[in-house]
Structure 1
Amino acid sequence: MTSPAVDPAPEAPLGASELRTPAAPTPGAPARRITGAVWAALGIVYVVWGSTYLGIRIVVETMPPFLSSGARFVTAGLLLAGIIAWRQGPAALKVTRRQLGSAVLVGLLLIPGGNGLVVLAETSIPSGLAALLISVVPAWVVILKAVTGQRPTAGGVAGVLLGLVGLGVLTLPGLSGDVKVVGVVLVVVATLLWSVGSFSSARLPMPANPFTASAYEMIAGGLAGLVIGLVRGEQHGLDLGDVSGRSWAALAYLIVFGSLIAFTAYAWLLQAAPLSLVATYAYVNPVVAVALGALVLNEALSWPIVLGGAIVVGGVCLIVSTERRG
């Protein structure tokens, strides 16, 4: 997501043919201000995405994972493209081949790679645990920063280390056999793919309009999810008449709120805020997800989930405070 020197600044998007590689900061320059719009978008991602784990769990009760995920994102992407064309004119959807290729690549990493594997994992593990395992995202971000030569802040490293301690505690149910360990592994792999996609989005020649980029990402990722579902044979034995009303309602919620609103807010944040700050959603989402899973689905709150969740959520304070200082 970032150049080797610095996170992307929230200035106006670059031109159609420019790479998103900001210049190195001037020594002694004042810290970049995090605007109210950034906090508003973060709030949407924090709360709405926290609730999507519950929605996914309800969807896969009677729907196949990749086909439902693919249908969700294709529908949301087409709706977003239609809104863009209506509000800004069809010209707003025009992109170069390089920009389209970049959006497709990021969409494949984020949606069938990141989201799709989480959906698959939730067929075997509780929604709250899946959300808590997502806490490994900031750890991948720090590793990716180090690989590209950017030194992470001390506060960021401390926050990630605290989160990793919590991740170790959260893994105990899988190691003890209380949940399927394959589900745990799927979520961790999903976090890696999601992190790579997020990290790459500011280093590639993406569409200048972040909402246009989001539409192409969702359509490309959703189509890939449908293909994966068909290859896996999820269509065999699928009878739409057997799909429950609550699964349809949950899918509609995921399309409108989880994809159209929250995913678009996330795509905008990737261009407007430091990646380390954006990644803190991985610490806040679990609070919402665990609470809803317990209240709506009666998911058990074992001591590893409660203790591990408390530890990983604590890491957000260190990362957010570090980013606010600069």
Structure 2
Amino acid sequence: MPLSRVGLLHLLVVYLVWSSTYLAFKIGLLSGFEPFWMGATRFIPAALLLLLYARWRGWSLRLDGVMGKKLAISGGLLWLGGNGLILLATQYVPSGYVALMIATAPIWAATLEGWLDRKRPPGLLILGLLVGLLGILALNVPKLSAGVPTNLLAFVLLLISPLMWAAGTIYTQRQISSLQPEVVSGYQQLFGGLGFLVLSWVMGEQWHSPTLWGWVSNLYLIVFGSLVAYTSYILAVRLLPLSLVTTYAYVNPVIALLLGWAFLQEPLGVWTWIGALLVLLGVGLVFRSRMRPSVQGTP
């Protein structure tokens, strides 16, 4: 059966836009944005636009206390934990390096699912985890050997960030299924954005006006990162096999690495390429191990 051309077009949008968000993070931070202030000014407007769209479609926006709590928890894990730590780390290291570290999210997701389901992990999954961790180590050899404290801080933040994103994704899948995806995303981004706003105030960030490029990068993240690419991802999942859609985890970090090199002259050393290949190989092995049961069970 031929693949949907419309679905492939939406997948291409996911490839290009989600890859470029790491470059937009870096440009925004270099152009005067403080990390949490940038997150607040991105996610609150994006959330309001999504919720206005949901209202226009006639979908219910009413929440009870239990669902509100679940959306707040998942929004905190995904956006404050997953995205917020990325913003903090991006201040200290190249955007391509950030994207490669975040590519380990599927590895952490597979690990968490195995632990929650109390299932013995297959050998291929264990191999994928080990290869991915070797890739992380290779990526960090030149940075950690330099002994710079900010490199170590970025390394820790970028280990925790994909773990938080994976936890938030699994929590959303297992606890929140009765609402439209746009409504879920809108509330999650709203709670996350409000959390960013509070943290920005608590941390004493300066709310000064960034440069024009800072606002352009944040507007790009709002329109394309939070709205267009998210919608394309949902449509790609509906029109294409999931195993094909999830290849964005392979493609995004590679494109992000090249964008950082092309636009910000971020260096690409031998250890970067070794680490990149190992991380992507590890993610690929994890995906293959997760697809095996469904393939074997097909009549």
TM-score (norm 1): 0.78
Kindly report which structure 2 residues correspond to 1:160-179, keeping only aligned pairs within 5 A, or say none.
160-177=129-146
1:286 aligns to what? 253
Alpha-carbon distance in 2 for matches of 1:39, 1:94:
34
Asked whether the 8 Å contact 1:280–1:319 carries over to 2, the reply is no
Flag the 1:323–1:159 CA change in 2: closer, same or farther, 3 A. same
Kindly report which structure 2 residues correspond to 1:263-274, keeping only aligned pairs within 5 A, or say none.
263-264=230-231
SS of the equivalent of 2:268 reads coil
2:66 aligns to what? 98
Alpha-carbon distance in 2 for matches of 1:80, 1:268:
16
1:14 aligns to what? none
Farther off after superposition, 136-145 or 163-172: 136-145
Flag the 1:174–1:191 CA change in 2: closer, same or farther, 3 A. same
Flag the 1:85–1:71 CA change in 2: closer, same or farther, 3 A. same
Deviations 1:152-211 (A, max 9, x none): 444444333322221110111221227721111111111121111111112214442111
Counterpart residue identity of residue 53, structure 2: I
Would you tell me which structure has more helix in proportion to its own residues?
A: 2
Alpha-carbon offset, residue 286 of structure 1: 1.0
Counterpart residue identity of residue 199, structure 1: I
1:69 aligns to what? 39
Structure 1 alignment gaps of length 5 or more: 1-32
Structure 2 alignment gaps of length 5 or more: 295-299
Relative contact order higher in (CA < 8 Å, ≥ 6 apart): 2
| Residue 222 (structure 1) aligned to one of 188, 193, 203 | 193
Q: Any runs of at least 4 consecutive aligned residues in structure 1 with deviations exceeding 6 A, and if so which?
A: 37-40, 267-279
Kindly report which structure 2 residues correspond to 1:103-118, keeping only aligned pairs within 5 A, or say none.
103-118=71-86
Asked whether the 8 Å contact 1:135–1:282 carries over to 2, the reply is yes
| CA RMSD, Structure 1 to Structure 2 (Å) | 3.0
2:297 aligns to what? none
Alpha-carbon offset, residue 40 of structure 1: 6.3
2:264 aligns to what? 297
Counterpart residue identity of residue 113, structure 1: G
Flag the 1:42–1:171 CA change in 2: closer, same or farther, 3 A. farther
SS of the equivalent of 1:93 reads coil
1:51 aligns to what? 20
Aligned residues: 287
Counterpart residue identity of residue 20, structure 2: S
Counterpart residue identity of residue 156, structure 2: V
